[in-house]
Amino acid sequence: MKNTIPSWVRVLVVFFLIMIGIELFIESGDRPAFIENPMIMLFLLLVLLFLIAIEGIVAAVENVLFNSLDEKGKERYLENKAKAPKFTKLKKIYHKLVDSKPVEEEGEIILDHNYDGIKELDNNLPPWWLYGFYASIIFGVIYMFKYHVFDGDGQLVELKQQYAEAQVKIDRYKALNKDKEVIDFDAVELLTDASDISSGKQIFVKNCVSCHRIDGGGGIGANLTDEYWILGGGIKNVFKTISQGGRPGKGMESWTRKGLKASQIQQVASYVLTFQGTTPGPNAKPAEGEIWVVPEDHVKGEKLIDTIKIIDTIQLQKEQIK
């Protein structure tokens, strides 16, 4: 069966089919998978290079076979190739961008150099490459003048603007939902009252045991008894993880969306931290993530208070601290 589809069409079709398949099977939230996960982008790049390499090898083999034919064979080959369906407009654009000689005309641009039978072609630089190079120069000049000569907003300024816009939305939401319970991640505090811990335990037993086990030893979910944390330890990080959900595609859902109130999430987050330093039963899940060290500004104050001490290993001990 003769191949009548141009190589660049085959490469693009196969590449985009693979890309669409990845997007369908890998959950990445609102963002494309290749942006959310850099390894996917690297994989797609390798796939593209692999497909191009295959087409290059096929073209090289075709060229070798063509040159091995006698004159009559070459004529028959060219006649059959001329009869094949053509994508006229696309081919014209392609040839203009590539500016390469057809196989049958390569003899016109062969250089005199001869290395053990290997000859070199005097090809021009592809116009697509030159256009891209000139475009990058123009872009670089515009970018330099906009951000380094004139007062264009840099990335940090844009980031501050986005923060300000987000804060306006948060304030508007709070103003419109005064009757609803809202707790900021940065404002949440560890609960130590026995009634709160008991309520947190009830929520944990009802919703979390299936993944984290009754003793916090982990199964489908992470082990909650060790000092390692995937998304950070401490009340703020645990509250945020329960509220927003864990890593995309890993099963940890947003419990805010599933109906838990902020106060309930605060209670269960405080209960989760009581597992720190305990010994789970057999077959506990191995540690995941990194050891989380409490930032210095999490423990403040000079006077003695009766509270829970958060130490570097995140073990919770009731004692007097300064």
Span 205-223, pLDDT tens digits: 999 999 999 999 988 889 9
Place 294 in a pLDDT band, splitting at 50, 70 and 90: confident
- Domain boundary residue among 50, 85, 120? 85
Rounded-to-integer distance, Cα 245 and Cα 251, Å: 8
Most confident of 163-167, 242-246, 293-297: 163-167
According to the model, what pLDDT value does residue 298 have?
Answer: 52
- Domain boundary residue among 63, 85, 107? 85
Residue range 39-51, pLDDT digits in tens? 888 999 999 999 9
Helices (H) and strands (E) in the chain, counts: 11, 6
- Kindly state whether residue 56 falls inside one of the protein's structural domains: yes
- Domain boundary residue among 85, 118, 138? 85
Least confident of 157-161, 249-253, 288-292: 249-253
Least confident of 90-99, 190-199, 205-214, 236-245: 90-99
- Kindly state whether residue 216 falls inside one of the protein's structural domains: yes
Residues 79 and 198 in one domain: no
For the chain, what is the domain count?
Answer: 2
Select the more confidently predicted residue: 39 or 319.
Answer: 39
User: Burial of 244 by CB count in 10 Å (0-12 exposed, 13-18 middle, 19+ buried)?
Assistant: middle
Residue 286 sits in which domain range? 194-321
Q: Across all residues in the chain, what is the average pLDDT?
A: 80
What is the CATH number for 306? 1.10.760.10
According to the model, what pLDDT value does residue 137 have?
Answer: 97
pTM over 0.85: no
Residue 186's closest CA among 255, 236, 116, 260?
A: 236
According to the model, what pLDDT value does residue 256 have?
Answer: 85
- Kindly state whether residue 222 falls inside one of the protein's structural domains: yes
